[in-house]
Amino acid sequence: MPHHSARPGRKDVASYIFLAIVWGLSFIVIVKNAEAFGPVAAVTFRCAVAASVLWLLARLAGHRVRLHGHWRHFAAVGATTVAGQLLGLAYGTPLIGTAMAAIFVAAIPLYSMLMSVAIGTETFTRVKLIGLMLGLFGVVMLVGFPAMAITREFVLGCAAMVFSTVSAAFGSVYANATLRRLPSADITIGAFICGTAITLPFIAFVPVPRAPVAMDFVYLAIAGALMSAATYLLYFRLVTTIGATRAISVEFVVTLVAVLFGALVLGESLTPLQIGGGLFIVAGCALILGLMPKRRTTP
C-alpha cells in the first residue's frame, strides 16, 4: 500500500479545517435529532438525506456514480463508519454530554493505529507504543473520574461511545485498504445507502418517540446535508489523498472545538482528571501520528 509522505496541499488543509469545525459543532445537532426521532430513526433518516443529496449533486455535476461491484465493501464501511459510528454517537452523547463524548472521539486514531498494525500497514515503534499507552491511560482517566454520578445510563453512554469510535476507526482503515481507487463521491454515496439499509429495520424496535415539528426537520436536514453529505465526501477524499491515519487525526481538533462549545455555550463541566485524560489521549495520538516535533541531532 502506498504511503502518503507528501505535504498536504491547500485544498487538503481547507477540507481538514472545515471538517474540524463542522464535526466539532455537530454534537448539539446529534442530540436534537436523537430527541426528536430517537437514535435509530435519526441515523436512518440522516443517512437517507445524505445519500439523496450526494446522488443529486453528482448527477447535476455530470458525475456518473459507479456502485456496481463494490457493494460488499460499501456494506462494510456503511455498517461501521456510518451506521456504527452514528448510532453510537446518537445513543451515547445525550447520556454523557457533548464535551465528554467529544473526548472519546479523540481516541479514534488510537484504534486506527492498532487496526493498521494488525493488518500490516503500520508497524510499532517505541514512540508509537508510548503513545498508545498514554492514550489508553487517558481513556481510563476519562471514564473513571467523571463529573457526573456513575449510573447505568453513564456506563451505557460510555459503552456506546467506545462502540462508535471503534466502528469509525475500522471503517476508515477498511476504506483506505479497499476503496482507494474509487472517487470519494462513490464511496460516500455507497456507504450512506448501506447505512440506511442497515439501520432501517431497527426502527421497529426503537420507534420515533413523538411527532416531529418543523424545527426537527431543519436539524435533520443540517445533519444529513451538511454534517454528513458534505463532510464525509471531504473526509473520504482526504483518506485517499493524505491517508487514513493523517485524515483521522482531524478528530483531535473536532474534540477541541466540541469541548470548548460544550463548556462555553452549553455550560457542561469536566473534572480536572477528565481534562487531564483528554490531554493524555491527544498527546498519545500525536506520538502515534508523528505530529510531535523531532529533536535535531548533531552528527
The predicted pLDDT at position 265 comes to 74
Sign of the four-CA dihedral 49, 53, 58, 59: positive
Instruction: Say if 48 falls within a structural domain.
Output: yes
| Whether residue 200 has pLDDT greater than 60 | yes
The predicted pLDDT at position 51 comes to 93
User: Which class for 283: exposed (0-12), middle (13-18), buried (19 or more C-beta within 10 A)?
Assistant: middle
CA 80 – CA 24 distance, rounded (Å) = 20
Instruction: Say if 295 falls within a structural domain.
Output: no
**Cα-flanking dihedrals φ and ψ of residue 234, to 5°?**
-65, -40
Q: How many CA atoms lie within 13 A of 208 on its CB side?
A: 14
Instruction: Give the range of the structural domain holding residue 89, as residue numbers without chain letter.
Output: 10-289
The predicted pLDDT at position 245 comes to 65
Instruction: Say if 273 falls within a structural domain.
Output: yes
Q: Which residue has the higher pLDDT, 45 or 258?
A: 45
Region 217-242: mean pLDDT is 86
Instruction: Say if 159 falls within a structural domain.
Output: yes
70-80 pLDDT, tens digit per residue, is: 899 999 999 99
Between CA 118 and CA 242, with CA 84 as vertex, the angle to 5 degrees is 55
**Cα-flanking dihedrals φ and ψ of residue 223, to 5°?**
-65, -40
Neighbours of 70 (CB within 10 A): 16
Region 204-220: mean pLDDT is 93
Which of 11, 66, 33 is CA-nearest to residue 228? 33
Task: Tell me the angle at which helices 98-105 and 152-178 cross, rounded to the nearest 10 degrees.
Answer: 40
Instruction: Say if 1 falls within a structural domain.
Output: no
The predicted pLDDT at position 289 comes to 61
47-98 pLDDT, tens digit per residue, is: 999 999 999 988 888 888 888 888 999 999 999 999 999 999 999 999 988 8
Instruction: Say if 234 falls within a structural domain.
Output: yes
The predicted pLDDT at position 162 comes to 93
> To the nearest whole number, what is the mean pLDDT of the chain?
82
| Distance, C-alpha 126 to centroid of its chain | 27
User: What DSSP element (H or E) covers 2?
Assistant: none
115-158 pLDDT, tens digit per residue, is: 887 887 767 678 777 877 887 777 777 666 666 677 899 899 99
Instruction: Say if 233 falls within a structural domain.
Output: yes
Nearby residues of 104 by Cβ (< 8 Å), 6 or more positions away: 92, 139, 142, 158, 161, 162, 164, 165
Region 279-284: mean pLDDT is 78
The predicted pLDDT at position 148 comes to 67
Instruction: Indicate yes or no: pTM above 0.85.
Output: no
Instruction: Say if 231 falls within a structural domain.
Output: yes
Q: For the chain, what is the domain count?
A: 1
Query: Which DSSP string corresponds to 22-78?
Result: HHHTHHHHHHHHHHHH-HHHHHHHHHHHHHHHHHHHHHHTT-----TT-HHHHHHHI
Region 213-242: mean pLDDT is 87
Place of cell 493498521: 116
